[in-house]
């Protein structure tokens, strides 16, 4: 993984392409009706990959924390379930090598190398990209931690997670993808930074609640696409979270003009959306409305 530092306030990581760029690329966006408890050998995961392969997808994107079914411990939080980055990414790398795909493995519970002394239970909510050779190609740690007081319950991710600090992009077949996770979607500056640094598309693994999703999910995804004139691939968890609170589903792929190319329902079954991204659509949007 090639690392590149820019300005101090915008530290980025880029994975460089190993072959000539493509004018179009097929992608798959996976929605899960419930968490995967055994990602190593589950037939659910394999079925989704086979659907992606049938659609000739090069990139497969999963939702936020889709392999986490446990409630955090009252005092230790998610620390008992967290792993080192290499351990947490191993399953994703194995699947990527097996199917010859690029994978955004939603996000995982990553144990920090040096936990804060006063809060040793905190972990990272980390999105990992695996390449077709089974290597870790990019790592993004969620920057914005969800806090909300809703009728269905209170949320405070700062009790369990450390916030990441870096903007991260990865490149495959000449396409540059900006990375983010869920609550990041509400903060445009991350996406604007990625656009300025060459992003063609954004991946947004998520687990929006039913209440916030119904009001804001599609609006936010389309807004990030429109204002940056980029594609957005946004898989969202369906079903209930570990506390029994409903999540929204409605995973979606949006083009640079804000058009919805594919969308799931709230869903009681796993769903794989597919779409083909085309560089000409990006050029068309940016030449029609000059924003940079």
For residue 82, the tally of other CB atoms under 10 A from its CB is: 22
Longest dimension (CA), the chain: 54
Task: Copy the structure tokens of residue 172.
Answer: 């495959």
Tokens standing for residue 214: 């119904």
Helix (H) or strand (E) holding 283: helix 279-288
Rounded to whole angstroms, the Cα distance separating 256 from 279 reads: 10
Confidence (pTM): 0.92
pLDDT at 152: 86
Domains of the chain, each with CATH number or no CATH:
25-288 (3.60.110.10)
Q: What is the pLDDT of residue 7?
A: 40
The pLDDT value recorded for residue 40 is 77
Q: Which two tokens stand for residue 60?
A: 């497969």
Rg of the chain's alpha carbons, rounded to an integer?
18
| Residues whose CB falls within 8 Å of the CB of residue 268, separated by 6 or more in sequence, listed in order | 33, 238, 239
Q: What is the pLDDT, as a whole number, of residue 18?
A: 33
Q: What residue has token string 């039913």?
A: 210
The two three-digit tokens of residue 44, written as one number: 């659910």
Report CA torsion sign: 281, 287, 290, 292. positive
Catalytic residues, by residue number, are 64, 142, 182
**pLDDT at position 263:** 98
Annotate 47-116 with DSSP letters as a single string: HHHHHHHHTT-SEEE--TTTT--SPPBTTTBTGGG-B-HHHHHHHHHHHHHHHT-EEE---EEE--SS--
Sign of the alpha-carbon dihedral angle for 149, 154, 155, 159: positive
Q: Which pLDDT score, from 0 to 100, does residue 6 have?
A: 38
DSSP state of 212: H
pLDDT means over runs of 10, the chain (292 residues):
39 42 93 90 92 98 96 93 96 97 98 91 98 98 96 93 97 97 98 98 98 97 98 97 95 98 93 98 96 78
State whether residue 267 is helix, strand or coil.
coil
Q: Where are the beta strands (DSSP E) in 101-200?
A: 102-104, 108-110, 123-130, 136-141, 147-150, 153-156, 161-162, 167-172, 175-179
């Amino acid at each position: 993984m090639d690392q590149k530092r820019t300005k101090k306030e915008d530290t980025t990581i880029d994975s460089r392409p190993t072959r000539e760029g493509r004018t179009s690329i097929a992608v798959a966006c996976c929605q899960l009706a419930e968490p995967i408890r055994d990602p190593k050998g589950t037939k659910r995961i394999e079925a989704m990959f086979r659907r992606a392969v049938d659609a000739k997808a090069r990139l497969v994107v999963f939702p936020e924390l889709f392999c986490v079914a446990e409630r955090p411990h009252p005092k230790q939080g998610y620390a008992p379930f967290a792993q080192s980055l290499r351990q947490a990414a191993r399953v994703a790398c194995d699947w990527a090598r097996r199917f010859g795909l690029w994978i955004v493995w939603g996000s995982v519970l990553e144990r920090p190398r040096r936990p804060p002394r006063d809060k040793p239970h905190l972990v990272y909510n980390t999105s990992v990209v695996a390449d077709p050779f089974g290597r870790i190609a990019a790592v993004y740690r969620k920057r914005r931690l969800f806090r909300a007081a809703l009728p269905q319950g209170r949320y405070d991710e700062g009790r369990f997670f450390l916030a990441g600090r870096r903007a991260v992009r990865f490149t495959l077949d000449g396409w540059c993808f900006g990375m983010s996770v869920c609550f990041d979607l509400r903060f445009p500056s991350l996406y604007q930074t990625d656009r300025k640094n060459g992003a063609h598309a954004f991946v947004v693994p998520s687990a929006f609640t039913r209440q916030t999703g119904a009001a804001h999910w599609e609006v936010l995804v389309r807004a990030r696409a429109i204002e940056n004139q980029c594609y957005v691939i946004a898989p969202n968890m369906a079903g209930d979270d570990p506390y029994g609170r409903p999540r929204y589903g409605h995973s979606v792929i949006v083009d640079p003009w804000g058009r919805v190319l594919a969308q799931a329902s709230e869903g009681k079954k796993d769903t794989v959306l597919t779409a083909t991204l085309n560089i000409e659509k990006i050029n068309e949007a940016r030449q029609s409305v000059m924003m940079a």
